């Protein structure tokens, strides 16, 4: 699904990345912060490694949540041989 949003040039002028990437990153960080997705899901959505995702979260002053769901996901991922 695509959505159009008007963003003032004052905002886009200070962004470090293209607007689309910046907006998706902010949404993903918010969803992660709210517990709506795991670290791996967040990383996959913005196309970065887990380590890079940790840096993204750090940049946005967001703590890493590591619970049972993340542990089970990591075990399944390790067992898959990817």
Q: What is the DSSP string of 56-82?
A: HHHHTT-PPP--HHHHHHHHHHHHHT-
- 3 state SS for 19-33: HHHHHHHHHHHHHHH
Is 29 within 8 Å of 19 (Cβ atoms)?
no
Instruction: Check pLDDT > 90 for residue 12.
Output: no
Cβ neighbours of 40 (radius 10 Å)? 17
Residue 53 has pLDDT above 90, yes or no: yes
Asked whether residue 1 is domain-assigned, the answer is no
| Residue 36 lies inside a defined structural domain of this protein | yes
- Count up the domains in the chain and report the number: 1
Domain for residue 2, yes or no?
no
- Which of the four pLDDT bands, split at 50, 70 and 90, describes residue 65? confident
Task: Find the domain containing 56 and state its range.
Answer: 17-80
**CA 70/CA 14 separation, integer angstroms:** 34
Domain membership flag for residue 71: yes
Task: Establish if 12 belongs to a structural domain.
Answer: no
Q: Is the pLDDT of residue 60 over 90?
A: yes
pTM: 0.72
Calculate Rg over the CA atoms of the chain: 15
**4 within some domain:** no
21 within domain boundaries: yes
């Amino acid at each position: 699904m695509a959505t159009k949003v008007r963003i003032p040039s004052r905002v886009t002028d200070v962004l470090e990345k293209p607007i689309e990437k910046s907006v998706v990153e902010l949404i993903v960080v918010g969803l992660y912060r709210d517990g709506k997705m795991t670290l791996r899901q967040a990383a996959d959505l913005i196309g970065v490694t887990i380590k890079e995702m940790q840096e993204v979260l750090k940049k946005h002053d967001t703590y890493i949540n590591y619970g049972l769901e993340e542990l089970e996901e990591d075990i399944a991922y390790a067992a898959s041989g990817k």
